[in-house]
C-alpha cells in the first residue's frame, strides 16, 4: 500500500518522482477506525491520497515560493464510500464498495497432484503490475494451504499446537506453477480506476482445487483440507 500510495500522489501532483518519508499511524496519532488493509486498502487510501494531493497542489499553485514555502504544513485527505445497496435483479447486488471478480483454474497431473494454478483477476487499472501479481500469488498460496494442508487442531477448545510449523502452511518449495492474468479495466469510483486485490487472491483457490479433484475421481469433498484424490485401478 505504501508504494501504491506514493504512486497515486505522484500522479495527482503530476511529478515523476517524489522523496517520501512514511510515518505509520499509531494509537496516539491515528483516528479510531478499522485497519487500512485488504481490498479496501488501495480503494479508500488511494482516494484519500488524491484528495490530500489536490489540496497540496492547489496550495503550491497559490503560494509564492512554491512547495518549499509550505514546509511544516499538513494536508489531509478524506474519502467516504457511497455505500452498498441492491442494484438490479435479486442475486445481483453490490455487496462491497471495492468489488472485484476472479477465476482460478487448478490443473492436476496424472497422480492427482496440483501442478499449476491459473488466476485471472479483474483488477481495474493496475498501478504496479509486479506488486499486484505478487499479491495474487500470495493469495493463491494461502488458498492452497486451506485446500491441501493447513489444519488448526483443537482439543477441548484449546489449540493442540502453537507452533506455526505444525499448522501445515505451504512452503515455497511446495508451490506449483502459478500464472497470474491481470485483466485491466476502469473502476469509476476507484483511485484513477484502480481496484483492490486483497482477499480475492485466496478465496477461489480451494474451490478450484475441490472441483479439479471432483473431475479427477468423481468424489465431492465438503471439508477443508481436502482429501487427496486416488484414482481407482481399472
**Can 199 be counted among the known catalytic residues?**
yes
CB-based contact 98:196 (threshold 8 Å)? yes
- The Cα–Cα gap between 90 and 113 comes to 39
What nine digits make up the cell of 164? Answer: 506455526
- The Cα–Cα gap between 98 and 172 comes to 30
Q: Where are the alpha helices (DSSP H) in 145-182?
A: none
List, as one string, the DSSP characters of 43-57: IIIHHHHHHHHHHHH
CB-based contact 54:76 (threshold 8 Å)? no
Cβ neighbors of 5 (< 8 A, separation 6 or more) are 45, 46, 49
Task: Print burial letters for 126-159: b (CB count within 10 Å at least 16), e (below 16).
Answer: bbeeeebbebbbebbbbbbbbbbbeeeeeeeeee
- SS3 category, 114: strand
Label the pairing between strands 177-184 and 114-124. Answer: parallel
- The Cα–Cα gap between 37 and 39 comes to 7
> Given 150, 179, 189, 199, which residue is catalytic?
199
CB-based contact 115:177 (threshold 8 Å)? yes
* Residues catalogued as catalytic: 199
Amino acid at each position: 500500500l505504501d508504494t501504491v500510495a506514493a504512486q497515486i500522489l505522484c500522479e495527482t501532483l503530476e511529478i515523476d518522482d517524489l522523496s517520501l518519508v512514511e510515518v505509520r499511524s499509531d494509537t496516539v496519532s491515528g483516528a479510531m477506525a478499522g485497519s487500512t488493509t485488504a481490498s479496501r486498502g488501495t480503494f479508500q487510501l488511494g482516494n484519500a491520497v488524491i484528495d490530500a494531493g489536490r489540496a497540496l497542489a492547489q496550495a503550491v499553485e497559490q503560494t509564492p515560493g512554491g512547495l518549499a514555502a509550505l514546509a511544516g504544513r499538513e494536508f489531509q485527505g478524506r474519502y467516504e464510500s457511497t455505500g452498498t445497496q441492491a442494484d438490479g435483479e435479486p442475486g445481483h447486488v453490490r455487496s462491497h464498495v471495492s468489488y472485484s471478480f476472479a477465476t482460478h483454474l487448478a490443473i492436476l497431473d496424472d497422480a492427482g497432484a496440483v501442478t499449476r494454478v491459473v488466476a485471472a483477476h479483474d483488477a481495474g487499472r493496475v498501478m504496479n503490475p509486479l506488486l499486484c501479481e505478487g499479491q495474487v500469488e500470495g493469495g493463491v498460496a494461502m488458498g492452497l494451504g486451506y485446500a491441501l494442508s493447513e489444519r488448526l487442531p483443537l482439543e477441548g477448545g484449546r489449540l493442540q499446537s502453537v507452533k506455526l510449523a505444525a499448522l501445515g502452511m505451504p512452503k515455497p518449495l511446495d508451490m506449483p506453477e502459478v500464472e497470474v492474468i491481470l485483466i485491466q479495466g476502469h473502476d469509476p469510483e476507484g483511485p484513477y480506476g484502480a481496484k483492490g486485490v486483497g482477499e480475492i487472491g485466496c478465496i477461489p483457490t480451494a474451490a478450484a482445487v475441490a472441483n479439479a479433484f471432483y473431475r479427477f475421481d468423481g468424489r465431492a469433498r465438503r471439508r477443508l483440507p481436502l482429501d487427496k484424490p486416488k484414482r481407482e485401478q481399472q
